[in-house]
Amino acid sequence: MAKLLTNIGCLLGIDNPGGGLKKGVEMRQINQIDNAWLLTEGQFIADFGAMTELPEATAGVEIVDLKGAWVFPAFCDPHTHLVFAASREGEFIDKLNGLSYEQIAANGGGILNSAAKLQKMDEAILYEQSAWRLQQAALQGIGAIEIKSGYGLTLADELKMLRVIRKLKETSSVLVKATCLGLHAIPREFKNNKAAYVNLVIDRLIPQVAAEGLADFVDVFCETNYFSVEDMVAVIAAGDKYGLKAKVHVNQFNALGGVKAAVQHGALSVDHLEVMEEEDLVALQGSNTMATVLPGCSFYLRIPYAPARAMIDRGVGLAIASDYNPGSSPSINPELNMALACIQQRLLPEEALNAATINAAAAMDCAAEVGSIAIKKRANLAVTRALPSLAYLPYAFGEKKVIRTMLNGTFI
């Protein structure tokens, strides 16, 4: 049923139809209408405007008086590992006792720990608990999300994860994008033969995933003790053959030259970027590759934050994601991630909102469908109580401001 939302205190994140990613200074721009209305038709935004020009109520339109509440485009989260078998708070205690992420992984924790648990888990249970997490994300105002495989680490278990993600796509009202992250860690069986595992992923996993339509993107963890720049380029090329764009993990702990190579090979996004050298920053300038920063991961691991301010100042397009996963970012909270981006990475509130909405949508290739308030886009909205200003959103960190989420024209 069509809905007419009236008395919106402030409608923010308004875009022209077809408006896409924002780069550099453009990220300071947030269009808004105070005292607004918005009309949905089916799953989409049909129109919006100022209350002074409210359209006549027509039959068949449900009127919802928002009584001054603020309306944002629902948040988009373009980098998560939401499908996992179990939390890892044992490693959290190890971390509190002084072990680093690398030391925890070397002691049998980390990604291999998650993989061992996921390999044993039944697909139906994996789906059930992932669906619950996705619903929690929606309740926090998330309307579109990318979810990676990468805790399977065998052909069968990577496919199992991707089938779970496909089922989430089919059953959730959140827009879900799937990424094949076969090269997330070197499985124990391949400890002394990494090349054989890389070949398995490139020659068998990616072609099968493409044939079954199980992924939208490919990814690889390009890092010391994980996968090289050369491995990353091979994955990007393998994805290219099937029209699967690349979103890659680079520069989390070490700058290996992965940013430049990813940009040169047309990656959709480069993610993490905590350790950036001049050549990495230069590579991003003028490119359409989205720099995706993961402040929750820096907060939780106590590692440096990506130099987001410097990237925006150099004209780069920047997105914020949660990196939600049990090992390096056990929280998906979009409001908290925006606050961290402002407080720790010196984004302005307008930049953080663009980074968490339209640019985050662009980082998963769905900016034409979601990420802003525009006619014909999905009616995906995050509603907060009346706020004193946009700045209040990241300022009052930890306070939950989103009170309702609309997805595809329906309040969840």
> Which segment (202-210, 326-334, 370-378, 400-408) binds ligand NIG by CB under 6 A?
326-334
Cα–Cα dist 221/216, whole Å? 17
Among ligand NIG, Fe ion, none, residue 110 binds (CB under 5-8 Å by kind): ligand NIG
# of chain residues touching ligand NIG (CB under 6 A): 13
> Which segment (68-76, 320-328, 352-360, 375-383) binds ligand NIG by CB under 6 A?
320-328
Q: Which of 7, 8, 9, 3 is nearest to 63 (CA)?
A: 3
- Burial class of residue 229, CB neighbours in 10 A (0-12, 13-18, 19+): middle
Among Fe ion, ligand NIG, none, residue 405 binds (CB under 5-8 Å by kind): none
- Can you tell me which of 257, 296, 327, 371 binds ligand NIG, judged by CB under 6 A? 327
Answer whether 406's CB lies under 8 Å from 412's CB: yes
- Can you tell me which of 274, 323, 350, 351 binds ligand NIG, judged by CB under 6 A? 323
Cα–Cα dist 145/133, whole Å? 12
Tokens of 29: 């721009």
- Can you tell me which of 276, 297, 336, 353 binds ligand NIG, judged by CB under 6 A? 297
**Restricting to residues 129-168, which ones interact with ligand NIG according to CB under 6 A?**
none
Among ligand NIG, Fe ion, none, residue 114 binds (CB under 5-8 Å by kind): ligand NIG
Among ligand NIG, Fe ion, none, residue 371 binds (CB under 5-8 Å by kind): none
Decide whether 328 or 405 has the Cβ nearer to ligand NIG: 328
Cα–Cα dist 394/410, whole Å? 26
Cα–Cα dist 82/60, whole Å? 38
Q: What is the radius of gyration, based on Cα positions, of the chain?
A: 21
Residue 65 phi, psi dihedral angles, 5° rounding: -85, 115
Q: Determine, following the binding rule CB under 6 A, whether residue 111 of this chain makes contact with ligand NIG.
A: yes
Decide whether 109 or 317 has the Cβ nearer to ligand NIG: 109
Cα–Cα dist 270/261, whole Å? 10
Of how many residues is the chain composed?
412
- For residue 34, count other CB atoms closer than 10 A to its CB: 12
Q: Determine, following the binding rule CB under 6 A, whether residue 307 of this chain makes contact with ligand NIG.
A: no
Among Fe ion, ligand NIG, none, residue 251 binds (CB under 5-8 Å by kind): none
Among Fe ion, ligand NIG, none, residue 351 binds (CB under 5-8 Å by kind): none
Q: What is the dihedral of CA 51, 353, 300, 251, to 10 degrees?
A: 160
CA quadruple 307, 313, 315, 319: dihedral sign:
positive
Q: Which residue is nearest to ligand NIG (CB)?
A: 327
Q: How far is CA 272 from CA 49, 56, 306, 308, in A?
A: 38, 49, 7, 11
Cα–Cα dist 92/111, whole Å? 14
Cα–Cα dist 21/3, whole Å? 28
Decide whether 37 or 84 has the Cβ nearer to Fe ion: 84
**Restricting to residues 203-242, which ones interact with ligand NIG according to CB under 6 A?**
221
Shortest Cβ distance from residue 323 to ligand NIG (Å)?
Answer: 5
- Can you tell me which of 6, 40, 80, 114 binds ligand NIG, judged by CB under 6 A? 114
Maximum distance among all alpha carbons in the chain? 71
Contact residues for Fe ion, defined by CB under 5 A: 323
Decide whether 327 or 409 has the Cβ nearer to ligand NIG: 327
Decide whether 223 or 323 has the Cβ nearer to Fe ion: 323
- Can you tell me which of 322, 328, 345, 354 binds ligand NIG, judged by CB under 6 A? 328
Decide whether 289 or 405 has the Cβ nearer to ligand NIG: 289
Give the footprint of ligand NIG on this chain (CB under 6 A).
81, 110-111, 114, 221, 249, 252, 297, 323, 325-328
